[in-house]
Amino acid sequence: MDAETRALERPVDHKREVRLWLRLLTCTTLIENEIRRRLRRDFDVTLPRFDLMAQLEKAPDGMTLGEVSRRMMVSNGNVTGLVERLAAQGLLERAPNPSDRRATLIRLTPEGRRNFARMARAHEGWVAELFAGLSPPQGETLMDLLARAKHSAAAACE
């Protein structure tokens, strides 16, 4: 049985796409693990807490939990717990939302802002270091292709 016959009889295989997905995942995990490790080592902070603070930094007037949860692509309950712990550390605070009593606003405290500013500076340097092997044009191309992949995946998620 030749290759052409096999191709007609068997369902199409998608080994290339799977290899691409595995490489994307490996690459991301590698970088994510390293950033996680450095955040713990230098600032004694976890990546989820850093990510949450990064979201709040962009909204000086505060943000609802739901908004944070959508942007971080994690569940609601997850954010509740993270906010709990960061508030206990005095890095963020909850404020009642006058226009909707269901939704609490959260925002960084001044200490949270100072704290995040230091971490963000280091973080930026680390990321640049980790991607140093890519030239600017390669970085641009990668950005574009990832945008395509993102749209493609978003479409497939309905």
**Options 3-11, 20-28, 72-80, 143-151: segment touching DNA (CB under 7 A):** 72-80
Q: Tell me: does residue 26 bind DNA (CB under 7 A).
A: no
**CA-CA distance, 106 to 62, in Å (whole number)?**
5
Which one of residues 7, 22, 25, 33 is an interface residue with DNA (CB under 7 A)?
Answer: 33
Q: Tell me: does residue 158 bind DNA (CB under 7 A).
A: no
**CA-CA distance, 56 to 59, in Å (whole number)?**
5
Q: Tell me: does residue 44 bind its own copies (CB under 8 A).
A: no
Which one of residues 35, 104, 107, 130 is an interface residue with DNA (CB under 7 A)?
Answer: 104
By CB under 7 A, the count of residues binding DNA is: 30
- Minimum distance from CB of 7 to DNA (Å)? 36
The entry of its own copies, DNA, none that residue 87 binds, CB within 5 to 8 Å by partner kind: none
How many other C-beta atoms can be found within 10 angstroms of the C-beta atom of residue 158?
4
- Minimum distance from CB of 102 to its own copies (Å)? 25
Q: For residue 36, give both structure tokens.
A: 């996680």
Q: Find the DSSP H helices in 59-135.
A: 65-72, 76-88, 110-130
Angle (CA) 65-70-75 rounded to 5° is: 75
